[in-house]
Structure 1
Amino acid sequence: MTDPIPLRACAYVRVSTKRQAEHETSLNEQETGIARSAAERGYEIVETYIEAGKSGMTDRRPALQRMIADACARPQRYDAVFVYNFSRFFRDEYECEGYRRKLEKAGVKLISATQDVGEGPHARLIRSIFTSLDAASSEINAEQVKVVMSANAEAGFHNGSAPPLGYRTYVAERRGKKDKKKLEIDPAELPLVELIFRLYLEGDGTSEPLGIGSMVKWLRERGYTHRSQHFHTGLIYAILTRETYAGRHYYGCRDSRTGKVRPRDQWIEVRVPAILSEESFQAVQQRLKARNPHITAPRSHTSPVLLSGLGRCGCNGCTSTMMLMTGKGGRYRYYACSNRRKKGDLSCGGNNVPMDQVDDAVVSALEHRLFQPGRLKALLGEMLDASDVADADRRKRLAVLRTEETEVNASIRALFMMVESGATTPDDPFLKERLATLKLRLSSIGEEMAALERQIGARGGRITPEKVERFAAAMRTKLRDTDDMQVRRRYVRAFVGEVVMSRKRIIIRGPNRALELAAAGDMPADDKVRTFMGNWRTRLDSNQWPLPSEGKAGNERRQPQANEKH
């Protein structure tokens, strides 16, 4: 009689800290315990996934995601996933149960080597008790660590994160086996910090004070780096606004789990040696504030850019924004890839295209290929259908949406009732995520209901062939015969969502929804323009007809593949 073939399984082991991962003690113990338990249950461990230094409170773990993907793949690779205990899998009961069900649907069991919950309906209850205790234990430990580290910061000590540029740590005192560290100025990095602030306030001696973008270029051209990393605009801004350089270092500015900035009154101030005087630091802050585009209006009246905010680079897979670049003292204007302007990155070939040619091509495409009555009738054919049959279908859909709206509102009320009854807390991450999902769905339902009600409403609000012709004529006039660039820009932005540019072609993506709403009523006499998002492209939306320039060769209808218009 031959021995039965063992079932295939994988092992998942995890430690929470880098120190545990370096010593590998906990990892080895987990692997040994899992191998012993798997053999007793008739499983063979064919793969081990190791997660070193990752928290069990989140699913942002590379080894975990790789293991889940492999376990749920077809054909089936494993019959079970073994963990040393459920806390190694997750320290959050919601996440643990969600991923366990995902494995279960794939026909894969989740087995703990040290916590046998058995089979049947009682197993989920026992498992939830274990994971709830693990989550509570983790939160208690986190709170204790927070108290200790806050006390350490209040005493003037550094808590172990990488010191800011220009500083280093030193052992101020020893308490038992613990080294208590503080920040001091690093003589090797001090000149670089002083240089950055001098460039921003005074320039390099041969120039005016440099802006952040110019400073990045200046530092890169001369080979300066931030601890072996290239400078970029975000890093320079962070250095210029860091109060540490004025002698005030802060601990606890952000919540370590959510990443959100805490209120300033919760920050803990740690006094450190100052690199800048308070007067110099405040001068930098005032200059930053004065140059803030949200405070100082952009010079659009002297430097009009028709496609501002719409342009994207289309060379070599680059998707960066396109910015204004001038030549010959402003006589020539180009749309240039922002990677080239901000970072000096030429991987896309340093893409830049003449602004006048692009602007004219976009306006011409709107005028001759979109705002023609025949083209608009094809695009808005569904909206032109005012028959009783179409209205009946819309009313049915509206009834379904109203029912769903009632259910979503009831779910939202139930969540708030859970908070009121004490079943959960307002800062519960699962509650926040679920509430955000429900509110997003409620907003989508409201938008769709409004569109249906508008289509079913009074006949005067319907899109008619006469309105389409009047709308097309008005739009052609606004795009060509208006001298005010700002008015033209608003009309272009109303119907164009993105313009992808390269030296060889231009791709325009734009909104079907804007066409529907604008054509549904008479064009306003003033210059106000609605802005919406959607899609229009020949044959790749509701319109399946070819362009006039394509002739009979394009008469075959094709299925939508992308929301683009060449």
Structure 2
Amino acid sequence: MRCVVYARVSTTRQAEQNISIPDQISRARKYAEARGFEIVGEYVERGASARDDRRPKFQAMVEAASQKQKPFDIILVHSFSRFFRDEVHFELYRRRLEKRGVSVISITQETGDGPGGELTRRVIALMDEMRSKEDAKHVKRGMEENARQGFWNGAMAPLGYKIVAAEKRGDKVKKKLAIDPQSAETVKLIFKLFVEGDGKAGPLGVKNIASWLNARGYKTPRGGAYYTSRVYAILTNETYAGNAWFNRKNTATGEIRPREQWIKTTVPVIIPGATFRRVQMLLKDKRPSKTPPRLVSSKVLLSGLAICEGCGKPLMMTTGKGGAYRYYKCSGKHLKGRCKGELSVSIREEKLDELILRALTERLLTPRRTHSIVAAVAKRREGGRGEADHTLYRLRGQLAQANKRVRNLLNALADGVAGETDLFKEMLSRAEEERAELTGLVAAQEVQVKDALKPITMEEARSASVKLKQLINAAPADLKKRYIRALVSEIVVGKSEIVISGPKDALAEAVTGAPPAHIAAASGPVRSLVREWRT
């Protein structure tokens, strides 16, 4: 009988220890030799879970067994848990192989043939599945607590960071993220290219950033090229703003869990919080699901914002007299010959543009309105500051303990209790490194807490309103469009009334921050598509 050996371990760490897999193969060879089986191949899976069938070597083995001229008759495994830890999948694949004349044999779990053997196999498979789920539950619980205590669970650090040993508890080495100076510069460069550009052609889009990096020889940590999806993942990774989230995604289904189940770990900041939020606003504003690319690049001031009150269709630009006159018209009426609301709006371009700009500068940006909106938004955001304050409190407590450890070591040296040995130096160095890291984390968290929106006085509101009005009126056409898109989400045009709507948060940020940079970043001239956004 010809047979192959299938050996598997669940994690790459187990594979690196190089103990389990050689032992599985060695035992299988002895088993085969004792029974006169001829081993014709080995399939070794290093670091793959048996709870599903997403295993390259496993699939290659099944495919080989399914050939018309099958190359082997038996699959030898150390135990059935090496083959599958899911009873349903186990039985499906076993029966599929059985139809091809291939048996799955465990060298440590003799089951026999007939109904009794089948029952034994299914009981074993069910027990393996239950044990796997219990193990996974306990591992997950441990990892969640690890994250709550501020340690890193990931096997690989995000670009810009490196994994460092923080402390040792028994045989376990607790790890944290520290900034890797060299790769952190690449992260800062990507954000700079997105917000400011390279100094030649203005801000770059996601696709153009990838091209820019590849053209200059930049490589990912694994030596690959930068794709738009990779650049987009970096620009949206909140870790760079100091917040690494654990338990964010269900690894089995790929679904994002409810935010209240996420666990935050504070890490060193590479990108300031204000810059990170500006980038997220910009990405959101340019997403094709929200704003089609043709509207982003359009020269029409109100493209994508103005709609007909009668039918809800967008207003489109039409021309008359050979292009001498330009009108916003109901697209339903112009393209299909009928507006459902029987309004069929038509208004000169310069007239509607002037009405909207005047309404923004004279009716929206009044001191009283901006003062009350900033106060309301600040009050609402204040309600969400509890978590940030709690994190700062916890970090300050950890810093106090770190300072105490350093003082105790120095006092022990000064009092002659401890000598200046290599072990003492190592302990002192580790304590000082921890203190320095916590000092940086506390400083970053203090900035985040202070970065919250604050109410402004009526005098500040008056000054900000005047400044913003001047900026909008003096801006060139493309910048006017960006200001409008940052403050306005919809313009409903009727026969006798125009209703302008927009988020209060946008106005509050505009009058309390630096209006030109903030609004330009909130709706900058980035023309790009990311593959995941395409339908």
TM-score of the superposition, structure 2-length normalised? 0.53
| Corresponding position: 1:140 with 2:134 | yes
Tell me the distance in 1 between the aligned counterparts of 2:187 and 2:69.
Answer: 57
Aligned to 1:222: 216
Contact 2:7–2:21 (Cα < 8 Å) also in 1: yes
- Paired amino acid for 2:211: K
Aligned to 2:45: 51
Aligned to 2:286: 291
Q: Residues 300 and 165 of structure 1: is their aligned pair in 2 closer, same or farther, counting only changes over 3 Å?
A: closer
| Corresponding position: 1:281 with 2:306 | no
- Paired amino acid for 2:266: R
Q: Give the alignment's Cα RMSD to 1 decimal.
A: 2.1
Structure 1, 73-82 or 184-193: larger mean CA deviation: 73-82
| Corresponding position: 1:253 with 2:240 | no
Of the three residues 17, 36, 44, the one matched with 2:11 is: 17
Contact 2:286–2:296 (Cα < 8 Å) also in 1: no
Write the deviation string for residues 82-106 of structure 1: whole angstroms up to 9, x where unpaired. 1111111111111111111111111
| Corresponding position: 1:199 with 2:201 | no
Write the deviation string for residues 120-168 of structure 1: whole angstroms up to 9, x where unpaired. 1121111000010001111111111101111000000011331111111
| Cα drift, residue 74 of structure 1 | 2.4
| Corresponding position: 1:125 with 2:119 | yes
- Paired amino acid for 1:99: Y
Aligned to 1:150: 144
Contact 2:11–2:47 (Cα < 8 Å) also in 1: yes
Contact 2:111–2:121 (Cα < 8 Å) also in 1: yes
| Cα drift, residue 27 of structure 1 | 1.8
Matches within 5 A, 1:163-242: 163-227=157-221, 228-242=223-237
Q: Residues 258 and 301 of structure 1: is their aligned pair in 2 closer, same or farther, counting only changes over 3 Å?
A: closer
- Paired amino acid for 2:154: G
| Cα drift, residue 29 of structure 1 | 2.1
Aligned to 1:534: none
Aligned to 1:34: 28
Q: Residues 105 and 179 of structure 1: is their aligned pair in 2 closer, same or farther, counting only changes over 3 Å?
A: same
Contact 1:10–1:47 (Cα < 8 Å) also in 2: yes
Gaps of 5+ in 1: 1-6, 304-566
Write the deviation string for residues 359-394 of structure 1: whole angstroms up to 9, x where unpaired. xxxxxxxxxxxxxxxxxxxxxxxxxxxxxxxxxxxx
- Paired amino acid for 1:80: I
Q: Residues 246 and 127 of structure 1: is their aligned pair in 2 closer, same or farther, counting only changes over 3 Å?
A: same
Contact 2:5–2:25 (Cα < 8 Å) also in 1: yes
Write the deviation string for residues 188-247 of structure 1: whole angstroms up to 9, x where unpaired. 122222211111111112221111122222222222222222111111111111111211
Matches within 5 A, 1:506-545: none
SS in 1 for 2:181: coil
Tell me the distance in 2 between the aligned counterparts of 1:88 and 1:281.
Answer: 45
| Cα drift, residue 56 of structure 1 | 1.0
SS in 1 for 2:85: coil
Aligned to 1:264: 259
SS in 2 for 1:58: coil
Write the deviation string for residues 43-93 of structure 1: whole angstroms up to 9, x where unpaired. 222222222221111111122122222223222332222111111111111
| Cα drift, residue 300 of structure 1 | 7.3
SS in 1 for 2:182: coil
- Paired amino acid for 1:297: P
Tell me the distance in 2 between the aligned counterparts of 1:243 and 1:146.
Answer: 22
Of the three residues 80, 83, 91, the one matched with 1:86 is: 80
Q: Residues 70 and 272 of structure 1: is their aligned pair in 2 closer, same or farther, counting only changes over 3 Å?
A: same
SS in 2 for 1:188: helix
Q: Residues 22 and 274 of structure 1: is their aligned pair in 2 closer, same or farther, counting only changes over 3 Å?
A: closer
Q: Residues 48 and 278 of structure 1: is their aligned pair in 2 closer, same or farther, counting only changes over 3 Å?
A: closer
Contact 1:247–1:274 (Cα < 8 Å) also in 2: yes
SS in 2 for 1:70: helix
Higher RCO (CA < 8 A, seq sep 6+)? 2
Write the deviation string for residues 384-411 of structure 1: whole angstroms up to 9, x where unpaired. xxxxxxxxxxxxxxxxxxxxxxxxxxxx
- Paired amino acid for 1:71: A
Tell me the distance in 1 between the aligned counterparts of 2:109 and 2:137.
Answer: 26
Contact 1:38–1:113 (Cα < 8 Å) also in 2: no
Tell me the distance in 2 between the aligned counterparts of 1:104 and 1:144.
Answer: 35
Tell me the distance in 1 between the aligned counterparts of 2:212 and 2:11.
Answer: 40
Q: Residues 212 and 302 of structure 1: is their aligned pair in 2 closer, same or farther, counting only changes over 3 Å?
A: closer
Q: Residues 106 and 187 of structure 1: is their aligned pair in 2 closer, same or farther, counting only changes over 3 Å?
A: same
Structure 1, 46-55 or 93-102: larger mean CA deviation: 46-55
Tell me the distance in 2 between the aligned counterparts of 1:300 and 1:186.
Answer: 40
Tell me the distance in 2 between the aligned counterparts of 1:131 and 1:286.
Answer: 50
Contact 2:286–2:293 (Cα < 8 Å) also in 1: no
Tell me the distance in 1 between the aligned counterparts of 2:296 and 2:252.
Answer: 45
Q: Residues 207 and 72 of structure 1: is their aligned pair in 2 closer, same or farther, counting only changes over 3 Å?
A: closer
Higher helix proportion (structure 1 or 2): 2
- Paired amino acid for 1:184: A
Tell me the distance in 2 between the aligned counterparts of 1:239 and 1:100.
Answer: 43
SS in 2 for 1:157: coil
Which ranges of 4 or more aligned residues in structure 1 deviate by more than 6 Å? 300-303
- Paired amino acid for 1:127: R
Aligned to 2:461: none
TM-score of the superposition, structure 1-length normalised? 0.50
Write the deviation string for residues 501-533 of structure 1: whole angstroms up to 9, x where unpaired. xxxxxxxxxxxxxxxxxxxxxxxxxxxxxxxxx
Aligned to 2:445: none
